[in-house]
Structure 1
Amino acid sequence: MPGPWSSYVAIGDSFTEGMDDPYGDGTYRGWADLVAGCLASEADNFRYANLAVRGRLLPAVVDAQVPLAAAMKPCLVTFSAGGNDALRRRFDPERMAEVFEGAVDRLVSSGAEVVLFTPPDVTVNYPAASRYLGPRIALCTELVRRVAKEYDTHLADLNADDGFRDRRMWSIDRLHLNPAGHRRVAHHVLSALDVECDAEWMESLPMATPARWVTARRADLQWARAHLAPWIGRRLTGRSSGDTITAKRPDLALLADHHSPAAPPVLSRQHREAAGPG
C-alpha cells in the first residue's frame, strides 16, 4: 500500500475521540492522535482532522462525519463506529451492515485509503451480559472483516488480540480504553499501514494478582453506581454523553505540536488498581 500519507481524517465515536486517555488539560489524546503523530514524522506539512464525537451511533457518524471526511479528500481515513449501536436493546444487524458498507463504499470512492477495525472483546468487562453481547460482537467482527476484504481496506483486527481481554487495558468505566489500551490500538493501526512505531505499545502488562472476591464485588458495586447507573439513565431519557460535545479537530489542518501526540502516555496507578485483575 502507498505511503507516507500527508493527510489523515479520523471519524467515529468515543473510541476514536480518545476516551479515556487524557492530556494534562482535560482533553483526550487516544490512539488516533498517536497515529497522527507517527505519520507526521514521515511526511512534511502533515494535516490531521478528528471528527469523532462520543456517544454517536453509526447512522449519526455516517450522516454527519462521512460526508465531511470525503469532502476533505485526505490520503487516509480511519473509520470505526457501531459499538454504541451494539449496546442498544433495539440493535438491528441487517440495518447496521447496510449503513456500514455504504459508508465504506463512499470513503473508498473518495480516493482515500481506509482503515477499519474489528471490535475488541469487551465481554471481560461485562461477564453478566456476555450471553447477548458476545454474539453481537461476533457479528460485528464478521461484518468488518468481510467489508475490509471486499473493499480492499486496511484492517486493524482488534478482536483477534487477546491483549484487550485484560481488564487493565480498560478505563475505570469499563467501556473506554485507558492509555495502555490506546497505545495498543495505535500499534495495530500503524502495523496495518506498515509504519514502524514503539514496540512497547504492544507489550502485555505484568501478570496481575487476582483480587479477593469481596474486593472484586465492592469494585463492581462502585462501578455500577458511578458508571452503569448514569449510562442507563441517559438511555431512559434519550440523552447522550456527546450531546454538548463537538469534534476536537474539525478541520484538516497542520498537526499542532503543543500536545505532543506521539509521546507515549503512562498507565497511571489509578488505572492499574481500578481495572482489577486481568
Structure 2
Amino acid sequence: MRWRKFVAVGDSFTEGLDDPYPDGTYRGWADLVAARLAVDAGPDFGYANLAIRGRLFGNIVAEQVPAALDMQPDLISFAAGGNDVLRRNFDGPKLIKEFDEVVGRLRATGADVLIFRFADVMARLPGQRLVGPRVAMLHEAIGETARRHGARVVDLYADDEFLNPVLWSVDRLHLAPAGHRRVAAHVLGALGLTPDEQWLVVPPRPAPTPWLAARGADLRWAGQHLVPWVRRRLTGRSSGDNITAKRPLLTPFTDRPS
C-alpha cells in the first residue's frame, strides 16, 4: 500500500529530540519514515508532524488530534502517555479508557494507525519501582486497543537493543540519532516495508564504567537534567512552553538542508 498523507502526533519522542539536523532543528524517526513513504508515493505525498515536546496525553488529544483529523490522512502515528506516567497524579484507568477512545476515533476515519509500546527508558533512570508498573499496565492496554480497533503496534519495549545506552542521548530520556533510526526501522516493519539495513545496526555497548566514575556521571546528569525537570514540575512549566509544531501543515516532504 502507498500512503499519501502521513500525520504524526505526540510529544518529544515524535518531534525528534535528540536527533538534530545541521541547522539545529530536529529530524527524528517520523521524518525518516516520511522520507521513505514519499519515495514510494511520489509527488502527491504529504506529511505533517504536530508533535511538541513535553505534551501530556490530554493536551495531545485536545490540540493535535482534531488538527490531524482535519487533514484526512490515510496514516496516523499516535504516541502519547509517556510524559503522563512520570507524573504523581497519573490516573492509569482514565488514560487507558481515553487512549482506546482516541484510537477508535482515528481508525473510524479509515486511516491506518500506528501506536507504540515505548522502549524501556526507565532502565537508566530513577523511579523504576513507581513507573515500571504503570508502563506495564499501559503496554498491556495498548495491545488490547490494537486488537479491538485494528491499529498497528510498534513494539519497541520488546527490543532489548534499546537497553544499549548508545541509543540514548546524554539526558537519558530522549533517543540519540541511532535510536531514532532503529525506531524508524521498526515503524516501517509494522507497515510491511523494508527499512534501510543500516538503521538496525547498533554500535557496540560501551565498556562498564568503574563504580566511582559512574556515580560522578550520575551526579552530573542529575544536576544538568533531573533538577531542571523537577523544577519545571514544581513551577508548572513545560519544556514545550512557547514551542510550536515543526511541520504544522500537510505539505510535500522536504528534508532540512544538509
In structure 1, the partner of 2:16 is 18
Pairing of 1:247-262 with structure 2 (within 5 A) = 247-259=245-257
TM-score by length of 2: 0.97
Structure 1 runs (4+) greater than 2 angstroms displaced: 257-260
Query: Which residue of 28, 31, 54 maps to 1:30?
Result: 28
What residue identity is the alignment partner of 2:150?
A: D
SS at match of 2:206: coil
What residue identity is the alignment partner of 2:23?
A: D
Q: Within 1, Cα distance between the matches of 2:130 and 2:199? A: 31
How far residue 103 of structure 1 moved from its aligned partner, in angstroms, is: 1.0
SS at match of 1:206: coil
Aligned partners of 1:70 and 1:106 also within 8 Å: no
Q: Within 1, Cα distance between the matches of 2:148 and 2:254? A: 35
SS at match of 2:127: helix
Deviates most, 92-101 or 80-89: 92-101
Deviates most, 201-210 or 161-170: 201-210
In structure 1, the partner of 2:236 is 238
Pairing of 1:1-278 with structure 2 (within 5 A) = 3-45=1-43, 46-126=45-125, 128-259=126-257
Q: Within 2, Cα distance between the matches of 1:19 and 1:244? A: 16
How far residue 87 of structure 1 moved from its aligned partner, in angstroms, is: 0.3
Q: Tell me the number of residue pairs that the alignment of Structure 1 and Structure 2 aligns.
A: 257
Residue 235 to residue 250, structure 1, CA distance change in 2 (3 Å): same
What residue identity is the alignment partner of 2:177?
A: P
How far residue 259 of structure 1 moved from its aligned partner, in angstroms, is: 4.1
Residue 20 to residue 258, structure 1, CA distance change in 2 (3 Å): closer
SS at match of 1:41: helix
Deviations 1:75-134 (A, max 9, x none): 1000000000000011100110121111111111122110110111112211x4211111
What residue identity is the alignment partner of 1:97?
A: I
Deviates most, 208-217 or 5-14: 208-217
Deviates most, 240-249 or 146-155: 146-155
Q: Within 1, Cα distance between the matches of 2:108 and 2:212? A: 54
What residue identity is the alignment partner of 1:168?
A: V
Q: Within 2, Cα distance between the matches of 1:153 and 1:32? A: 17
List gaps (5 residues or longer) in structure 2: none
Q: Within 1, Cα distance between the matches of 2:252 and 2:119? A: 31
List gaps (5 residues or longer) in structure 1: 261-278
Q: Within 2, Cα distance between the matches of 1:121 and 1:140? A: 13
What residue identity is the alignment partner of 1:26?
A: G
Aligned partners of 1:148 and 1:154 also within 8 Å: yes
In structure 2, the partner of 1:274 is none
In structure 2, the partner of 1:273 is none
In structure 2, the partner of 1:268 is none
Q: Within 2, Cα distance between the matches of 1:52 and 1:258? A: 17
Deviations 1:113-164 (A, max 9, x none): 10110111112211x4211111111111111111111111111001111011
Q: Within 1, Cα distance between the matches of 2:111 and 2:169? A: 32
Residue 90 to residue 129, structure 1, CA distance change in 2 (3 Å): same
Q: Within 2, Cα distance between the matches of 1:208 and 1:235? A: 32
Deviations 1:32-75 (A, max 9, x none): 00000011110112110000000000010001111111111111
Q: Within 2, Cα distance between the matches of 1:133 and 1:78? A: 24
SS at match of 1:11: strand
How far residue 169 of structure 1 moved from its aligned partner, in angstroms, is: 1.0
Q: Within 1, Cα distance between the matches of 2:256 and 2:57? A: 31
Identity %: 53
Q: CA RMSD in A?
A: 1.1
Q: Within 2, Cα distance between the matches of 1:25 and 1:72? A: 28
